[in-house]
Amino acid sequence: MSASATTLTKSAPSPPAQRRGRARRGRSLARKVAPIAPALVLLLLFFAGPVIWSFYTAFTDQSLSGAGASSPRFIGLDNFRRMWDDPIFIQSLVLTVVFVVGSAVIGQNVLGMTIALLLRNRHRSVKAGVALVIVGAWVMPEIVAAFCWYAYLNPEGSLNHWLKAVGATQNWLYSAPMFAVILANVWRGTAFSMMVYSAALSDIPPDVEEAAEIDGAGGLRRLWYVTFPMIRRSIVTNLMLITLQTLAVFTTIYVLTAGGPGNKSATTPVYMYEQAFKFYNLGYGTAMALVLLVIGALFSLVYLRFVRVDEP
Amino acid sequence: MRRRTLLATIAAVALATGAVSACSSSGSGSSNTITVAYENFGSFTQMNQLMKKVKAEYEQANPKMSVKLEPIQADENDYYTKLDLMNRSASTAPDVLYEDTFLVNSDISAGYLKPIDQYLSKWKDWSQFSSTAKSAGKGQDGKTYGVPMGTDTRGLYFNKQIFAKAGLPTNWQPKNWNDILSAARTIKQKVPGVIPFQIYSAKSAGEGATMQGLEMLLYGTKNTLYDPSSKKWIVSSKGLTDSFNFLHSIFAEGLGPSPQQELDTQWGTKVSTQGLPQSKIAIDLDGSWQSGNWKKTGEKPWPQYSKVLGTAMMPTQDGSSPGFTSMSGGWLLSVGAHAKNPQAAFDFIAMSLNKPNTLFYDNAASQIAERADVANDPAYKNSDPFTPFFTSLVKYTHFRPAYSDYPKVSDAIQTAMEAVMTNQSSVGSALSTFASTVKSDLGDSATTSQ
């Protein structure tokens, strides 16, 4: 990338040289693309294909059974109009935002940063021990982590077993379902933020902070005025990645509450699944997917804006 | 320019390879192989037993043919979804499928099923089926799309030991809904720790909530779900409101299972294998097939079931004529629309539902026999002490309005039931959401109120 960028910024060469340069560039491009061709093929087949199909389906009354399955009709914006009038869909959007902000922007992000800061300059064995525990949660497949949390939180689960010893009891999966799924997702995803921040923090030259210390800056001021600005780019990147990841979380919520009780924890991905695969409204479900895609894009734009402001 | 050409070439190659591989994979179902898709989940294992038995018999009788069984591990709702997904592509669509009668019309309009009239006319056993049984697989187009495996009815199971403890009669027969409520209240008061009255009310129970739950109430009122004369769905009526009010009383007074228990996707299995056998449920509004779980071949053998449990008919709301109500459904074996060798698929069905195999299945799964020769067989009559009772309910029974839109109405009912059960909505707002959901799904002109 950087090589081609420098060639492009060089002063304009004379016409024959330009032609030669283009041929060379073409060949070098071919050499660059060849290794990723198989991945590109797979992406086109299994990623672009379904995306295009679901884009089209969002404007039809395609369903899993019934007349909509054999001969779907093009119904224009009906699915989107229906969404607008569907109070459960609007509620699902609110719950999605609550879930993303609660579990990613606040939960994973702040906790990941805190752990990374606490681990700075610790003994290697402490670092390794803590990292092992936290990364362990991250390595676990989502479905396994979700089942662990179900076993832990359900009324006959291990948490209540221990709480009984002190005479307390909880029923969060039922009484506070959003809290329960946010908790589980923070537990699972914190490792990612922690690793990003640990790497970023280790890149800060120690003399910068030492200089600030000599100038008399206390711990918090040093953090705010020196450390954070220096890792700002990592913070934004991390926020963007975990937001997009969390926006699409389905398994954890589905296993823990299945969107229930009622629709109290039905975020958009869960509600979308229910409409498309339980209630057979494939068209309506894919239309929701499209809306979710737009929301993800908006979030990314906002974050990218942050990065650009900082560009030298 | 070059770059674009190159990318275009890559894309073209990609699509071409994709197309080639797609073509080669579609040849998986040859005309010498019959694929059979059916449900095998939780305590429902009898179908798997039958299919394994028939596979062996069929392959022995037709050495050139092979049968590929595709048991689908999924609860009822997910089973329908997975089956429909398989049916969407010719390369995965099964040749023989285990099909719920209420989905027949919906799947016919989807183009998933093949009419089998030409094969039935040559099948001498077809005369053993009553005309009601024959109509179970009949589509709105008048053609037949499946052979019934057996039917079912629904009623009340009650635990005589719990009733004795509560001072209630062990030959209990409620005359109206209030009798059920008062028995449940007595049990709650006198026998703490058991669930007084179990009624399926969660989305996770799927069609079970609609049929064993709401429709067992609604069809005991003056109203139903569908008006055949105007061909409209009845989305609001006094009967519907009363049924939901009954449901609300059960859960608001703590007479039912706790909402979390109901929301458990395994709740149905837990009722059959724990709740009833371990005497944790006093009254259960459920289907005639329950005792199949407790036989020797079942998931939870329980030899004393007919001594511990009593059965009672479900009364109408206020006891008005005919006094009692029930609902009937049942499952079919159908031929898939994409079957390469429909004759072989039908032969497999004919063998699965010949007299000995029907007898085996109806006994194991506690089905109400629909073949006359099976129904009159002593081995069937004596197989289950509950058979005479559930067979007698046939005279009170109702069938679902199994038109192609029914599944959508049923889903909307389940959503409303769960909202009332968990007390997230009042009966009034749950019902107005129900009406507006059905209207937006099917169009205003397809609904009415009474």
For residue B388, the distance in angstroms to the closest alpha carbon of chain A comes to: 36
Backbone angles phi, psi at B231, to 5 degrees: 55, 45
Q: From the CB of residue B322, how many other CB atoms can be counted at a distance below 10 Å?
A: 9
Residues 6+ apart with CB under 8 A from B419: A262, B425, B430, B433
Stretch A193-205: mean pLDDT: 91
pLDDT confidence bin for B30, thresholds 50/70/90: low
In this complex, do B411 and A279 lie within 8 Å of one another by their Cβ atoms? Answer: yes
Q: Which of residues 204-263 of B touch A (CB under 8 A)?
A: 204, 259-260, 263
Touching check for A80 and chain B: CB below 8 Å? no
Stretch B419-431: mean pLDDT: 93
Structure token digits, residue B22? 């797609």
Instruction: List the single residue in B77, B103, B424 with the smallest CB-CB distance to A65.
Output: B103
Structure token digits, residue A128? 């390794």
The mean predicted confidence, pLDDT, of chain B is: 90
Which one has a higher pLDDT value, B241 or A128? Answer: B241
Disruptive mutation site among A18, A64, A83 for chain B (greatest number of B CBs within 10 Å): A64
Instruction: List the single residue in A30, A37, A65 with the smallest CB-CB distance to B106.
Output: A65
Touching check for B405 and chain A: CB below 8 Å? yes
Shortest CA distance to B249 belongs to which of B349, B300, B340, B181? Answer: B181
Task: Please name the residue that has the structure tokens 């192989």.
Answer: B33
Touching check for A260 and chain B: CB below 8 Å? yes
pLDDT confidence bin for A182, thresholds 50/70/90: very high
Stretch A245-274: mean pLDDT: 90
For residue B335, the distance in angstroms to the closest alpha carbon of chain A comes to: 16
In this complex, do B10 and A40 lie within 8 Å of one another by their Cβ atoms? Answer: yes
For residue A175, the distance in angstroms to the closest alpha carbon of chain B comes to: 10
Per-residue pLDDT tens digits for B317-361: 999 989 999 999 989 999 999 999 999 999 999 999 999 999 999
Which one has a higher pLDDT value, A8 or B55? Answer: B55
Instruction: Provide the percentage of residues in chain A whose pLDDT is more than 90.
Output: 37
Q: From the CB of residue A141, how many other CB atoms can be counted at a distance below 10 Å?
A: 9
Residues 6+ apart with CB under 8 A from B435: B235, B236, B447, B449
Shortest CA distance to B404 belongs to which of B449, B441, B445, B349? Answer: B441
Structure token digits, residue B31? 């005309």
Distance separating alpha carbons of residues B161 and B156, to the nearest angstrom = 15
Residue A6: pLDDT over 60: no
The answer to whether the Cα torsion of B264, B268, B274, B280 is positive or negative is positive
Instruction: List the single residue in B14, B418, B433 with the smallest CB-CB distance to A45.
Output: B14
Distance separating alpha carbons of residues B236 and A220, to the nearest angstrom = 63
The mean predicted confidence, pLDDT, of chain A is: 85
Please give the pLDDT value at position A35. Answer: 87
Instruction: Give the DSSP H/E element, type plus range, for residue B373.
Output: helix B372-375
Shortest CA distance to B390 belongs to which of B366, B371, B373? Answer: B366
Distance separating alpha carbons of residues B45 and B24, to the nearest angstrom = 35
Structure token digits, residue B372? 């006359």
- Residue of chain B with shortest Cα separation from A37: B10
Touching check for B18 and chain A: CB below 8 Å? yes
CA B203 to the chain's CA centroid:
14
Stretch B109-137: mean pLDDT: 92
Q: Tell me the three state secondary structure of residue A46.
A: helix
Touching check for A164 and chain B: CB below 8 Å? no
Per-residue pLDDT tens digits for B248-292: 999 999 999 999 899 887 899 899 999 999 999 999 999 999 998
Shortest CA distance to B406 belongs to which of B438, B428, B376? Answer: B438
Instruction: List the single residue in B107, B260, B422 with the smallest CB-CB distance to A65.
Output: B107
Instruction: Give the DSSP H/E element, type plus range, for residue B96.
Output: strand B96-100
Distance separating alpha carbons of residues A13 and A26, to the nearest angstrom = 17
* Helix, strand, coil in percent for chain B, rounding step 5: 50, 20, 30
pLDDT confidence bin for A9, thresholds 50/70/90: very low
Residue A11: pLDDT over 80: no
Instruction: Give the DSSP H/E element, type plus range, for residue B233.
Output: strand B232-236
Please give the pLDDT value at position B136. Answer: 86
Which residues of chain A lie closer than 8 angstroms to B3, CB-CB? 26, 29
Contact (CB, 8 A) for B221 and B243: yes
Instruction: List the single residue in A30, A40, A174 with the smallest CB-CB distance to B259.
Output: A174
Residue B29: pLDDT over 60: no
Please give the pLDDT value at position A15. Answer: 56
Please give the pLDDT value at position B408. Answer: 86
Q: Which of residues 78-117 of B touch A (CB under 8 A)?
A: 80-81, 84-85, 88, 103, 106-107, 109-112
Give the A:B interface size as CB pairs under 8 Å.
Answer: 107
Residue A22: pLDDT over 70: no
Which residues of chain B lie closer than 8 angstroms to A37, CB-CB? 10
pLDDT confidence bin for A309, thresholds 50/70/90: low
Distance separating alpha carbons of residues B79 and B37, to the nearest angstrom = 10
Which residues of chain B lie closer than 8 angstroms to A278, CB-CB? 77, 81, 203, 411
> What length does chain A have?
312
Touching check for B426 and chain A: CB below 8 Å? no
Q: Tell me the three state secondary structure of residue A134.
A: helix
For residue B419, the distance in angstroms to the closest alpha carbon of chain A comes to: 5
Please give the pLDDT value at position A280. Answer: 86
Distance separating alpha carbons of residues A235 and A238, to the nearest angstrom = 5
Which residues of chain B lie closer than 8 angstroms to A277, CB-CB? 81
Residues 6+ apart with CB under 8 A from A242: A104, A105, A108, A109, A189, A192, A193
In this complex, do A260 and B422 lie within 8 Å of one another by their Cβ atoms? Answer: yes
Which one has a higher pLDDT value, A208 or B421? Answer: B421
* The B314-315 sheet, strands edge to edge: B314-315, B324-328, B397-399
Mean pLDDT comparison of A70-79, A206-215, B168-177, highest-scoring range: B168-177
Contact (CB, 8 A) for B402 and B100: no
Q: Is the peptide bond before B303 cis (omega within 30 degrees of 0)?
A: no
Which residues of chain A lie closer than 8 angstroms to B260, CB-CB? 154-155, 171, 173-174, 261
Q: Where are the alpha helices (DSSP H) in B121-276?
A: 131-135, 160-165, 177-190, 207-208, 216-218, 238-252, 259-263, 267-270
Disruptive mutation site among B264, B422, B437 for chain A (greatest number of A CBs within 10 Å): B422
Residue B415: pLDDT over 50: yes
Q: Which of residues 406-425 of B touch A (CB under 8 A)?
A: 407-408, 411, 418-419, 422, 424-425
Stretch B96-110: mean pLDDT: 92
Stretch B204-228: mean pLDDT: 94
Backbone angles phi, psi at A100, to 5 degrees: -65, -45
> What length does chain B have?
450
pLDDT confidence bin for A23, thresholds 50/70/90: low
Determine the residue type at A205. Answer: P
Give the global pTM.
0.79
Residues 6+ apart with CB under 8 A from B72: B37, B38, B39, B40, B41, B79, B82, B83
Which residues of chain B lie closer than 8 angstroms to A263, CB-CB? 424
pLDDT confidence bin for B21, thresholds 50/70/90: very low
Please give the pLDDT value at position B8. Answer: 52
Residue A144: pLDDT over 80: yes
* Helix, strand, coil in percent for chain A, rounding step 5: 80, 0, 20
Contact (CB, 8 A) for B370 and B150: yes
* The B330-335 sheet, strands edge to edge: B66-72, B33-39, B96-100, B330-335, B147-151
Instruction: Provide the percentage of residues in chain A whose pLDDT is more than 70.
Output: 90
In this complex, do B404 and A280 lie within 8 Å of one another by their Cβ atoms? Answer: no
Task: Please name the residue that has the structure tokens 């950087």.
Answer: A2
Contact (CB, 8 A) for A103 and A246: yes
pLDDT confidence bin for A8, thresholds 50/70/90: very low
Stretch B299-306: mean pLDDT: 92
Shortest CA distance to B450 belongs to which of B264, B241, B215? Answer: B241
Please give the pLDDT value at position A51. Answer: 85
The crossing angle, in degrees rounded to 10, of helices B238-252 and B427-442 is: 130
Backbone angles phi, psi at A48, to 5 degrees: -65, -40
Distance separating alpha carbons of residues B433 and A86, to the nearest angstrom = 10
Distance separating alpha carbons of residues B400 and B397, to the nearest angstrom = 10
Residue B140: pLDDT over 90: no
Touching check for A277 and chain B: CB below 8 Å? yes
What number is the ipTM of this complex? 0.75
Contact (CB, 8 A) for B221 and B316: yes
Contact (CB, 8 A) for B223 and B240: yes
Contact (CB, 8 A) for B349 and B107: no
